[in-house]
Amino acid sequence: MKRTLRCLLAAALLALGALPAAGGEPRSALAAIGVEDIHLRPAFWVARLAAPDQVLMDSAAIAAQNAELFARDSSMNDLSRLPATLSRRAVAARIEDLSAPPSGTLYDAGGTPVERATLDALVQNRNLDAIPARQATRFGLVVRRAALRTFPTDLRVFRSPEDHDIDRFQESALFPGTPVVIAHASRDGRWLFVIAPRYAAWVEKDRVAEGERDTVLAYGRKSPYRIVTGGNVETVFTPERPAVSRLALDMGVRIPVLEDWPADEPVNGQHPYTAHVIELPVRETDGRLALAPALLPKVADSAGDYLPVTRANVVRQAFRFLGERYGWGHSYGARDCSGFVSEVYRSMGVMLPRNTSDQGVSPAFDKRLFDAADSRAERLVALRSLDVGHLVYIPGHVMMVVGTVDGEPWVIHDTTGFGHVAPDGTFTRVRLNGVSITPLIALAANETELYIDRMTSIVRVVPAPAKEAPPPL
**Whole-angstrom Cα distance, residue 280 to residue 209?**
11
User: How sure is the predictor about 466, in pLDDT bands with cuts at 50, 70 and 90?
Assistant: low
**Percent of the chain at pLDDT above 70?**
92
- Bridge partners, 113 (sequence order): 107
Give me the pLDDT at residue 341, please. 98
**Percent of the chain at pLDDT above 90?**
87
One-letter amino acid of 416? T
**Whole-angstrom Cα distance, residue 347 to residue 328?**
21
State the Rg of the chain over Cα.
24
For 213-365, strand residue ranges (E) read: 225-228, 233-234, 248-249, 254-256, 275-283, 289-297, 302-303
**Whole-angstrom Cα distance, residue 363 to residue 351?**
13
How many residues make up the chain in this entry? Answer: 473
Q: What is the pLDDT of residues 384-416, one digit of tens each?
A: 889 999 999 999 999 999 999 999 999 999 999
Give me the pLDDT at residue 265, please. 97
Q: What is the pLDDT of residues 121-155, one digit of tens each?
A: 999 999 999 999 999 999 999 999 999 999 999 99
Other Cβ atoms closer than 10 A to 462: 24
Give me the pLDDT at residue 468, please. 53
Task: Identify the three-state secondary structure at position 202.
Answer: strand
How buried is residue 261: exposed, middle or buried, by Cβ count under 10 Å (0-12/13-18/19+)?
middle
Give me the pLDDT at residue 185, please. 98
Contact between 294 and 247 (Cβ < 8 Å): yes
Give me the pLDDT at residue 2, please. 46
One-letter amino acid of 263? A
For 371-443, strand residue ranges (E) read: 391-394, 397-405, 408-421, 427-439
pLDDT for residue 290 is more than 70: yes
The verdict on pTM exceeding 0.85 is yes
pLDDT for residue 27 is more than 70: no
